[in-house]
Amino acid sequence: MRGYEFTLYHNGAVVGSGNQWTQANTFNLNLQQGKNVIAVKATDLGMQAGLLADLVYQQESIVSDFNWKTTATHTTGWEQTNFNDSAWQHATDFGMYGMSPWNKQVAGMPDNTSARWIWIGDTYNNPAVKEAYFRMEFTVSADGLDISNPITNVGEFANVQYELKSNIPMPSLIRQKIGITGDMFTEIPATGSFSITAAEYAQLSSTLVTNQIYLDEATDQSIKITKVAAILTSSGYVVEYAIPQFEELFEYYSIPEQTVTFDQSNLVYPSGGSIVSFSDVSSSVYSDVPSAVYSDVPSSVYTDMVTFGADDFISCSKSGSDFVCNFKKELINQKSGGKETLVEAGGTLTLKAPKLRGTYKHNKFDLKFTAGESANVYVKGKAQFEKEIKVPLYGLELDAGKVGMATVGIFLVIGIDGNVSFEFVVDQGYSLEAGVKGKNFLYIPRLGTIKPYSSVDRHLNVTHQIEGTLTARAGAQAEVGLEVLGISLVGVKVFAGIEGEGTW
C-alpha cells in the first residue's frame, strides 16, 4: 500500500505491525497442529490499497488471494480463532506480485511468490474502504498446510495465472498432419512422426528445426520438433515430434486453491464413432486397486472387433447437484473363424455431487476429486477374449485457465478372462475421494513427490448367470487429470465395481 499501516494477529494474539509498504515485514509464527487463523487489520493512508502476504511452512505456502475473508466492519473478537466469519465476503484479487502500480518494489518479498494483491471492494485505486479486516483459516497436519473451506466456483477455475516461454503458432499444415483434436477421451501420444513433401518442407523450413515448439491456440496443444530427416528414396522429409516438457513451455502456471462444482454445460460425450479403448497406464498412479486389474494393450490390436449398434445411446441430465446417465452400448459384436464375441452393457449411472478441488502453485499442488456414485448396470454376452474393455460413457471438463483443462472421465470397465456365456447385473454405489498431491519447484512437479491417495466406501449387490470358467470385472472408473497445453501434469484413477472368479 502506498501509505499504510497494519497489525498482524495469529490465533488471536498480536504478532507485529508495520507501516512501510516498500519493505516486507517478516514474523515468526508458532503454528499449531489443527486449525490456525491469520488476521490482519490494514489501513490505507494513500491512493492505492492492497494487502500482500506469503506464509511459508516446510516448503509449502499459503498466500493472500481470493480465499481470504474480509469486511469493513469491526466486530469484537474478529481476530480470534473461534470467530465465525461466514458473513464476511471474499477478498477481491487484483493480480499477482509484480503488477502495476506496485510492480516488484517490495523489498524482502520473494520474486517467485504466488501471493496476490487483495483488498475489499471492486477497486484498489482510491477505494471507498480505507480500513479493512482480513482473515485466513487453515489447518496444519503431517501433510502440511490446507486452506479451510476454499472458495467454490461453478464450471471453471478462477484467477488462473500463467506465463508462456517463446513459441510459434502451429501452421495449419502441421495441425492436419498430426490430426490435432480437443477430444478429452483421446490420449495424445507422447511421440510421433509425419511425412511432408519437398514443397511442404520449403513452406515450413524457416521454423521447422530441432527443438522448435509449435503451439495451437485453438486447442491449446503443443509439440516440439525432435528430428527432421530427408527420405533418401524420395524428395520428401520425415518429421519426428514429442510433447514438450512443462518447463519448456512455461515460466509458471498457478491455480489458487478452490473447489469447482459442475454444471450441465460441463458435460462432454464421446463421439459416436469412438473406439473401445484399453488401459495403458502405470500402476503407480492407482490407489486402492490391484495393478493386475489393468491391461497394457494398445487399442489398435482390437479395433477390428469394435462396432456400435444403431440403437446405442447415452443420455445424461442434471438433477439437483447430481448427474444421471442412462446408457446402452453394444461393445463388441464379432464373428470370425467360427468364433463369436458379443458383449452388451446398459443401465443407469448416477454421479452424486461431483466436485474438483485444486491448487497448483509455488511449492504445492493438490488435485482432489470427490463424488458419490450409484449404478444399476447389466452386462451380458458371449466372450472369447482375455483383455479389458474400457468404454467412455461421459466426461466433465473444467476450464483451468486459457491454456489448461481439468477433466473427469467416467468409464465403464468390463474384464473377461476365458471362454464364457454370461449375464450379470451390478447394483452398486460408492463415495470416493481421489487425487494426487506433491511438491513443486517453480511450478514443476518434483520427481518422487507425487502421492496418489484415495478413499472408497462401497456397497454392492450382484446377480449373475455365468457358464464357463472366468475372471470377471465390471464397474465404473473415474479418471481425473489436469492438462496444460496437452501436457499431463497430474492424474489419478479409481475403480469401483465387482471382481470375481471361479467356475459356474
The mean of the pLDDT values for the chain is 81
Within a 10 A sphere around the Cβ of 330, how many other Cβ atoms? 18
Q: What is the pLDDT of residues 410-457, one digit of tens each?
A: 888 877 666 677 777 777 777 878 788 887 776 677 766 777 777 777
Q: How far apart are CA 433 and CA 369, in angstroms?
A: 6
Q: How far apart are CA 367 and CA 227, in angstroms?
A: 35
pLDDT at 139: 94
Q: How far apart are CA 18 and CA 42, in angstroms?
A: 10
Q: What is the arithmetic mean of pLDDT over 92-111? A: 91
- Note whether 159 and 256 are within 8 A (CB): yes
pTM metric for this prediction:
0.78
Q: What percent of the chain has pLDDT over 70?
A: 82
User: Where do you find CATH 2.60.120 in the chain?
Assistant: 4-149
- C-alpha 305, offset from chain centre: 32
Phi, psi of 20 (to 5 degrees): -120, 105
Selection from 167, 191, 169, 168 nearest residue 178 by Cα = 191
Q: What is the pLDDT of residues 349-362, one digit of tens each?
A: 888 899 999 988 87
Q: How far apart are CA 17 and CA 147, in angstroms?
A: 24
> Grid coordinates standing for 437?
498431491
pLDDT at 38: 98
Helix or strand (DSSP H, E) at 426: strand 404-438
- Note whether 107 and 24 are within 8 A (CB): yes
> Grid coordinates standing for 481?
487429470
Q: How far apart are CA 443 and CA 325, in angstroms?
A: 37
- Note whether 370 and 409 are within 8 A (CB): no
Selection from 132, 145, 20 nearest residue 70 by Cα = 132
Q: What is the pLDDT of residues 316-355, one digit of tens each?
A: 888 888 988 888 888 777 776 666 777 788 888 888 899 9
Q: How far apart are CA 258 and CA 341, in angstroms?
A: 47
> Grid coordinates standing for 312?
446405442
> Grid coordinates standing for 52?
500482500
pLDDT at 347: 87
Q: How far apart are CA 149 and CA 57, in angstroms?
A: 19
Q: What is the arithmetic mean of pLDDT over 151-163? A: 90
* Angle (nearest 5°) at CA 78 between 75 and 83: 115
Q: What is the pLDDT of residues 465-501, one digit of tens each?
A: 766 655 666 677 888 888 888 788 877 777 766 655 5
Selection from 287, 266, 256, 241 nearest residue 405 by Cα = 266
Q: What is the arithmetic mean of pLDDT over 83-107? A: 93
pLDDT at 283: 26
Q: Which residue has the higher pLDDT, 473 or 5?
A: 5
Q: How far apart are CA 225 and CA 213, in angstroms?
A: 7
Q: What is the pLDDT of residues 198-222, one digit of tens each?
A: 999 999 988 999 999 999 888 888 8
Q: Which residue has the higher pLDDT, 143 or 96?
A: 96
**Fold exhibited by the domain 4-149:** Jelly Rolls (2.60.120)
Give 141's Cβ-side CA count (13 Å radius): 6
Selection from 44, 38, 32 nearest residue 14 by Cα = 38
Band the pLDDT of 271: cuts 50, 70, 90: low
Q: How far apart are CA 289 and CA 454, in angstroms?
A: 10
- Note whether 66 and 159 are within 8 A (CB): yes
Q: How far apart are CA 94 and CA 143, in angstroms?
A: 30
pLDDT at 282: 26
DSSP string of 35-86, one letter each residue = EEEEEEEEEE-SSB--B--EEEETTEEEE-STTSEEESS--TTTTSTT---T
pLDDT at 422: 75
